[in-house]
Chain A
Amino acid sequence: MSSSTVPEPGARRTRRTPNEVRELLLDAARSTFAARGYARSSTREIADAAGVSEALLFRHFGTKARLFELAVLDPFREFLDGYVAARPADLTEPLPAAEVPSRDYVESLYDLLSTHRELVMALLAARAYEVGLMATPELSDALDRLETLVDLEVSRRGLGAVDVPVTIRATFAMVAAMAVFGQWLFPSDALPPRELVVDEMVRFMVHGLAREATMAP
């Protein structure tokens, strides 16, 4: 397989763009890591599954650890950035009920975390027992990009004092816990249906942020 490092102008039609290669590798990494965990997945088989050379894998990601972190976290970064990108349109319309943006966020995030539950577990396990893994700032950076949006919601709705950076993380943590650890938190014969969990999270979030109604001590 040819692996020339510099893409020449007029390269073959079938040559994939760097972005395509990146996506192929991330997809292959996600399915391999989810099935086998970090230690037992090799970069060679991930490259094979993606249909690219191992050298190209390392050129894109540097190390197996980095590929792993990005493979796990990228869907969440993408979701958060997509959520931010879709929101400004709302500004021109009358303010939707507070429940609308909350439900939109919580429900999609919960489903995404549930879909990638095994990967999140693999990340936690690898962090605990493998050496050489460094937590990367991608997720936190994406959460930071929500700040402007939440600041705006807080001021438009006249909500009370909210510590925005911390609350964004607390909400993410709550949804992640329900999606990833939910089955251990509930008795196995009393797991509530998804709708009930989502409804309760939405109410929790709407009222958790609405602090103008603070009761007198």
Chain B
Amino acid sequence: MSESSAAKAGRSKPGAARRAPDEVRRLLLEAARSLFAARGYAGASTRDIALKAGVSEALLFRHFGTKAKLFERAILDPINGFIHNYVEEWKARSAADHTPEAISYAYVDGFYRLLSENRDLVLALVTAQAYESIEELEAASPLSRLMEELEVVAGREAELRGYQFDVPISTRLVAGMVMAMALLDEWLFPAGKRRPSRQRIVNEMVEFMLHGLAHRDAAVAPAEASG
């Protein structure tokens, strides 16, 4: 079996078949996602990823530098994308132009969907953090950087509405709850038992979040805080 026929085919047709750098990058990220999800960080080699993408391993390194960097981009880009969009959309709202329900629902619904659909990738990330010594991951956990972004929205919401919660910890409580509901899904809702609908799960997490963060003793009425 010719192990890199795809890669050779790619190289042998430099003219019209040459792919744009963006296209190569996309192919590599796609291949990386599927192999990291199936085999984990250690189990997926850059050689196999390049082969699956139909490009040379040298090109993989030219685009991403190291396996760890490729891993970060492949796993984190979808999550980063969601968080960035969410933060952009909600960080500058005034108290009058949105409800606590809407801002909570948009977060929980979107984040839970994303994590449920990419469960294998999130598992690859947490197991890599637990079992591999990857310098890039050890220096600053990517999850922690995402939480810091979310704090902006949570902190502003607390300020606008006069909620009394610890912003760094609460941000992580809610994100952690959503993350663990997705990752532990098959133990929490095992096959063969009646399972609540996705909507019911989302609604309850939203309620739990709304009331868990608001309605504390020292909270002031929303009207007073919106000034």
* A interface residues with partner B (beta carbon < 8 Å): 37, 73, 121, 124-125, 127-129, 135-137, 139-140, 143, 162-163, 165-167, 169-174, 176-178, 180-188, 190, 192, 196-197, 200-201, 203-205, 207-211, 213-215, 217
Contact = CB atoms under 8 A, between A and B. Distances in A.
Contact of B211 (A128, A176, A200, A214): A214
A172 B173 CA distance: 11
Nearest to B99: A217
Given A173-B180, A174-B177, A185-B175, A203 B165 contact: yes
Contacts, number: 176
A155 B202 CA distance: 23
Interface in B190-227: 190-193, 196, 200-201, 203-205, 207-209, 211-216, 221-222
Interface string B152-186: 00000000000001101110111111111101101
A128 B40 contact: yes
A140 B208 CA distance: 20
B179 A125 contact: no
Given A136-B187, A209-B208, 10 more contacts: A125-B127, A140-B188, A166-B204, A172-B180, A172-B188, A173-B176, A177-B173, A184-B141, A204-B165, A217-B99
Given A125-B130, A170-B208, A186 B172 contact: yes
* Chain A interface helix/strand/loop/mixed: helix
Interface of B: 39-40, 43, 99-101, 120, 123-124, 126-127, 129-131, 140-141, 143-144, 147-148, 165-166, 168-170, 172-181, 183-184, 186-193, 196, 200-201, 203-205, 207-209, 211-216, 221-222
A204 B215 CA distance: 10
Contacts of B209: 208
Contacts of A121: 126-127, 130-131
A166 B201 contact: yes
Nearest to A164: B204
Nearest to A169: B188
